[in-house]
Amino acid sequence: MASSAIRAYARAGGSPNPPQNPSPRTPPAPRPLPQDAIDHGNRFSIAQRAQCLTLLAEGFSGLDIQKKTGIKPSAQTYMKKKAFNRGFRPDQDPRILDHYVVDGVRPGRPKVITLETEQRLLESVRVDRSGREKSSEVLAYECGISYSSALRILHKYGLNSVKPTRKPGLNPKQRKARLEFCLRHQHWTLEDWMRVIWSDETSVILGQRRGTIRLWRDSGEAYNRTVIRNRWKGFSEFMFWGCFSWDKKGPCHIWTKETAQEKKQAQEELDKLNENHKDQLQAAWELSTGMRRLDLRRRKSGPKPQWRFTKANGKLVRDSQAGGIDWYR
């Protein structure tokens, strides 16, 4: 069958040896797409559609229009019908308006999650402390949507799962002291604050995992009362202390719990220091007391004061709680 095709090609005046790889057909130039448009198949530019309508209005045949524009007759009929539905009347007004040839609005799939659903989910999160700690599964169940949709809504409004803001619990006395400090220093200049050394410490609890609580909030809700968890002192195994100033960082130190042997050694050292300074402190006390009781006009009444070696008279005493960080450590 192939040899008979070659002989027929030769009788027609062609070469008996036709080329094995004929040149492929040149593909048409790609049609331009508007910005953010997706090509789902055959589409034509606005200029092609306008040209097609103009030629149709002038009475050109479908084949002639196809040669000039590359639009098939079936597509020409569709374009003409759509333009007529949009008000195109060539016998009354031959002008081609934009809305005759532009793409129609494609609404797409209707949204299942409405704005009311999104607002209900956000209100459920921000209502109180328990709402902040709800998981996406719980929020999705309450709103009747999937957990992935709940996550998309939370991320859409800038809410992320983060650790709660920790704030130390303050009693009325501590609050008053902080307020007085702020009022005393509200007029300080930058040079005044540059001479301040800031120090702080943190407790580390052994055997306890921190950061297990997660809650939902956006970047501007760090100090909302529903996202704050009070932190009370106590139950610490060791303390980490550090300090810094305007342009320098101070040393860091770890305070471990004081053992019974360390307490005994500390008390022995304090006893030696107190023994060395006891006589000197007693002599200074007797001198100051005698001068106070000296009265040239009349004699002081009451019993004569007796020397007692106490903290008020200069005795070195450790008065912190067991294992705490006091002046001696």
pLDDT at position 223 over 70: yes
Number of domains in the chain: 2
* Cβ-contact 69, 51 below 8 angstroms: yes
Tell me, yes or no, whether 92 and 126 share the same domain: no
The answer to whether position 198 is within a domain reads yes
* Cβ-contact 254, 239 below 8 angstroms: yes
The answer to whether position 125 is within a domain reads yes
The answer to whether position 291 is within a domain reads no
pLDDT at position 6 over 50: no
Between 202 and 266, residue with greater pLDDT: 266
The answer to whether position 133 is within a domain reads yes
Tell me, yes or no, whether 141 and 244 share the same domain: yes
The pLDDT of 27-43, averaged and rounded, is 53
**Range of lowest pLDDT (54-68, 134-148, 219-233):** 219-233
Domain that holds residue 57: 41-106
- Model's pTM, two decimal places? 0.35
pLDDT band at 321 (very low <50, low <70, confident <90, very high): low
The answer to whether position 268 is within a domain reads no
Tell me, yes or no, whether 134 and 242 share the same domain: yes
pLDDT at position 117 over 80: yes
pLDDT at position 158 over 70: yes
Tell me, yes or no, whether 125 and 243 share the same domain: yes
Tell me, yes or no, whether 124 and 211 share the same domain: yes
Q: Which residues have CB under 8 Å from 122's CB, separation 6+?
A: 153, 157, 159
b/e map 110-122, b = 16+ CB within 10 Å:
eeebeeebbeebb
Tell me, yes or no, whether 189 and 225 share the same domain: yes
* Cβ-contact 302, 295 below 8 angstroms: no
The answer to whether position 70 is within a domain reads yes
The pLDDT of 294-315, averaged and rounded, is 74
The pLDDT of 211-227, averaged and rounded, is 83
pLDDT band at 98 (very low <50, low <70, confident <90, very high): confident
Tell me, yes or no, whether 54 and 147 share the same domain: no
Tell me, yes or no, whether 236 and 130 share the same domain: yes
pLDDT at position 31 over 60: no
The answer to whether position 184 is within a domain reads yes
Tell me, yes or no, whether 50 and 173 share the same domain: no
* 8-state DSSP, 105: P
DSSP run (H or E) holding 47:
helix 46-58
* 3-state class percentages of the chain: helix first, strand second, coil last, to nearest 5: 40, 10, 50
Instruction: Note the pLDDT tens digit of each residue in 159-193.
Output: 998 888 888 888 999 999 999 999 999 999 999 99
